[in-house]
């Protein structure tokens, strides 16, 4: 909070204490300015000096594609330490999904992808690129030796909360075996899909239906194979696009001669490339919507977690009810069987007829006789 803001708060507080603020001013609210995206210092690096964008920079990323990820604000700082200068570029997005899409848009094929910094990182070409929550950061010149210091930077960057901090689901379905390094791209619109090397017609994938797309490249024994995954809001929408791709991909060129299309609930997959049709189908069969998804430490509880808790609770209730019912049946058999056994041991039949209560009034009251001769009759 700046000095001017603190002074304004003091003036308002003093006026309220003195009773000089009119009644209509009681609803005034003080709004703090947003926290700066980048800190003044981190891990011994101090802000200062100036720098120009390097060969790899967020300023050179396809602007239309980057806009689809939903950037909110950005900041560039230059830091110095022990005679070195480092330029740090940061862009905050509307949610973690946008930040990861921008990450796959900015990374280069020569980079080594990992999770040593933040949620995802790519190191190479003289830069360290990483995401932390809903923010994408690029540091240059930097190398793997700067990862420890950049981890300190990641800790102080603003963190997304609620649904904006949920990691995208679609990239977690990508099979890891034979995946090309830096071979996964995640797109939220036609511009980013085309810029990331998508093999399907970019404008025919249903972006107006809130589609998301992943392009994953593989090196197989028969050559290069590409798996395109698209996720839609409902299985009905996905089914419509499955039919569309099944009839249309064969005419997209030689690489689609053995193409295979498969759907699993809201997920539609297309395999294209050098693999024979049966092997392409086998690759797609490895992907399932119900697989367990690993999440990192920054992912908060989401809707499916609450559903799982409710399911576990209902399952426990059903099991308890079943146990109680079984116990009641066993108890009834034990008590009824025990009573029958005792009667048999006494020489009586196992079952007895029920006895009814009676007041035995029949013998005490004689049957009434009615005189039918009329009121003038004489005995």
Residue 152 pLDDT exceeds 80: yes
Residues in the chain: 379
Q: Which two tokens stand for residue 262?
A: 């498969």
pLDDT attached to residue 19: 40
Please, where are the H alpha helices in the chain? 3-18, 63-67, 96-106, 147-156, 190-195, 235-248, 277-285, 303-345
Distance of alpha carbon 18 from alpha carbon 206, whole angstroms: 63
Please give the average per-residue pLDDT across 318-333, as a whole number.
89
For the chain, percent of residues with pLDDT exceeding 70: 78
Distances (CA, A) of 62 to 59, 69, 106, 301: 9, 11, 9, 33
> Partners of 272 in the beta sheet?
226
Phi, psi (rounded to 5 degrees) for 166:
-80, 130
pLDDT attached to residue 306: 67
Q: Which two tokens stand for residue 39?
A: 């800190």
Residue 5 or 70, more confident = 70
Q: Which residues contact 158 (CB under 8 A, 6 or more apart)?
A: 35, 37, 92, 133, 135
Q: Distance from CA of residue 283 to its chain's centroid? A: 24
Look up the pTM and report it: 0.68
Distance of alpha carbon 173 from alpha carbon 285, whole angstroms: 12
pLDDT attached to residue 35: 76
pLDDT attached to residue 8: 41
Give me the domains of the chain, ranges plus CATH numbers.
43-165 (3.40.1000), 170-285 (no CATH)
Predicted confidence (pLDDT) per residue in 98-142, tens digit: 999 999 999 999 999 999 999 999 999 999 999 999 999 999 999
Closest CA to 132 of 175, 174, 88: 88
Distances (CA, A) of 345 to 1, 55, 341: 91, 100, 6
Place of tokens 């740090």: 88
Place of tokens 């900041």: 75
Distance of alpha carbon 170 from alpha carbon 96, whole angstroms: 13
Q: Which two tokens stand for residue 58?
A: 């967020």
Q: Which two tokens stand for residue 139?
A: 């540091």
């Amino acid at each position: 909070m700046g000095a001017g803001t603190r002074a304004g708060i003091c003036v308002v507080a003093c006026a309220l204490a003195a009773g000089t603020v009119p009644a209509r001013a009681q609803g005034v609210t003080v709004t703090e300015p947003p926290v700066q995206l980048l800190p003044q210092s981190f891990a011994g690096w101090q802000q200062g000096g100036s720098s120009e964008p390097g060969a790899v920079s967020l300023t050179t990323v396809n602007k239309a594609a980057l806009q689809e990820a939903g950037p909110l604000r950005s900041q560039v700082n230059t830091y110095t330490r022990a005679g070195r200068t480092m330029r740090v570029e940061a862009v905050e997005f509307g949610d973690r999904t946008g930040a990861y899409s921008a990450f796959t848009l900015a990374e280069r094929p020569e980079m080594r992808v990992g999770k040593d910094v933040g949620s995802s990182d790519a190191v190479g070409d003289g830069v360290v690129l990483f995401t932390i929550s809903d923010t994408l950061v690029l540091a240059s010149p930097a190398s793997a030796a700067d990862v420890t210091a950049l981890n300190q930077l990641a800790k102080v960057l603003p963190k997304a909360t609620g649904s904006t901090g949920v990691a995208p689901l679609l990239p977690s379905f990508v099979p890891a075996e034979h995946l090309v390094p830096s071979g996964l791209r995640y797109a939220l619109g036609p511009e980013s899909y085309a810029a990331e090397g998508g093999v399907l017609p970019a404008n025919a994938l249903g972006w107006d239906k809130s589609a998301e797309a992943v392009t994953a490249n593989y090196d197989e024994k028969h050559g290069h194979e590409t798996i395109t995954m698209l996720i839609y809001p409902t299985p009905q929408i996905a089914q419509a696009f499955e039919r569309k791709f099944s009839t249309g991909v064969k005419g997209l060129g030689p690489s689609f001669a053995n193409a295979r299309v498969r759907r699993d609930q809201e997920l539609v997959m297309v395999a294209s490339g050098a693999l024979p049709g049966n092997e392409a189908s086998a690759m797609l069969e490895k992907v399932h919507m119900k697989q367990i998804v690993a999440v990192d430490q920054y992912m908060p509880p989401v809707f499916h977690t609450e559903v799982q808790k409710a399911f576990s609770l209902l399952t426990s209730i059903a099991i308890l009810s079943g146990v109680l019912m079984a116990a009641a049946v066993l108890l009834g058999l034990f008590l009824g069987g025990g009573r029958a056994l005792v009667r048999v041991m006494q020489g009586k039949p196992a079952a007895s007829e029920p006895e009814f209560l009676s007041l035995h009034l029949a013998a005490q009251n004689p049957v009434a006789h009615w005189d039918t001769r009329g009121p003038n009759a004489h005995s």
